[in-house]
Amino acid sequence: MLDERGLDHVIYNAVSSGTNGRNVVSVARRRMAWMLRYAVAAPERVIYVCSARLEVWLLAATMAMRGKQVIIRLRNVALPDYLANPRTRALASWAMRRATYVVAVSPELAAAARAAGVPEERIIHQPGFLPPACHAPGEDGLSPSQRDFLSGRHPVLAANGKVDVYAGVDLYGFDHLVELVGRLRPSYPAIGLVVAFWDHLPKDEPRLAALHARAAELGVSDSILWHTESWPFVPVLAHAHLFLRPTVTDGDANSVREALFIGVPAIASDAVARPTGTICVKTRDLEALIAAATATLHTPPPRTPRCEIVDLAKIDVYLNLFERLAS
């Protein structure tokens, strides 16, 4: 979309080795050293910070003080956590007050930014969702392992995230997803759950091993694909009969909106406000999750893909902002 507007841009990828050889550049290796250099010598006029790390916000704030146009995007629980901690509240508030704009993907995050002292006129409440591209006929977009796994599977469940802990429990509810598959499999012997990871590191292996072990205990190891390689999520979602998001906390999850956009029923925790159309269940209530999934699979709602619908007005909030700051 930026290309279509003629806006030159570079995406600096600090979380993986992914690059396109053109305007997506991986800086994940020695990323902190790269960020320090970039904070001093960044050639770009407009810096859009998509990170929940406080140290990145602080570096961005110093760049704003030197005349850069800096936008900090708030997308998850990091800001409320920072504000709740006296040691980080002052730093987070200082960084955001120096940003040109703060983009909050949910009303809760916009309120947190106001509480941190960011002027109302510099807060933009806008979900991060952008309509995903729809694949042409015959192009399913799946990875080879996903394609092999999904062959003959019905129904297909989809989830995403990473193995992580928040407030002492599984952040993305993967433990409950394993239990869910165990309860559903007697009724659906060919059931398949694809869990797509957005990040996976060697230090995460013990948690993943524990999930493997529990799946083996329940006899459902072959019904779950833990897809830890980096790959687009929408192709899996397009093959799913149900999307699951039983998180302990969340921002405005783009994947929930993606599911609704392409007509896939979405079940999510009530940890945060969810978009209209989401089937909400009580957070960390396994029985409620099982009941909702069972009912939805038994009587699925009409699947009405809406790939042709693009809300240009909402997309333009971002594009116009970049265009204005770059001029």
Q: What is the pLDDT of residue 15?
A: 82
DSSP state of 234: H
Q: Give the model's pLDDT for residue 5.
A: 87
To the nearest 10 degrees (0 to 180), the angle between helices 31-41 and 54-65 is: 10
- Asked if the bond preceding 186 is cis, omega within 30° of 0, the reply is no
For the segment 207-234, what is each residue's pLDDT rounded down to a tens digit?
999 999 999 999 999 999 999 998 889 9
Q: What is the pLDDT of residues 69-113, one digit of tens each?
A: 999 999 888 899 999 999 899 999 999 999 999 999 888 899 999
Please check whether residue 200 is in contact with residue 231, taking contact to mean a CB–CB distance below 8 angstroms: no
What value does the mean pLDDT of the chain take? 92
**Residue 307 pLDDT > 70:** no
Q: Which DSSP symbol is given to 133?
A: P
Most confident range, picked from 102-106, 137-141, 169-173: 169-173
Rounded CA gap, 200 and 267, in Å? Answer: 24
- Rounded Cα–Cα distance for residues 216 and 233 (Å): 25
Running DSSP on this structure, what letter comes out for residue 269? Answer: E
Pairwise CA distance, residues 96 & 265, whole Å: 36
How many other β-carbons are positioned within 10 Å of the β-carbon of residue 117?
Answer: 10
What pTM value is reported for the model?
Answer: 0.85
Written as six digits, the tokens of 274 are: 């969810």
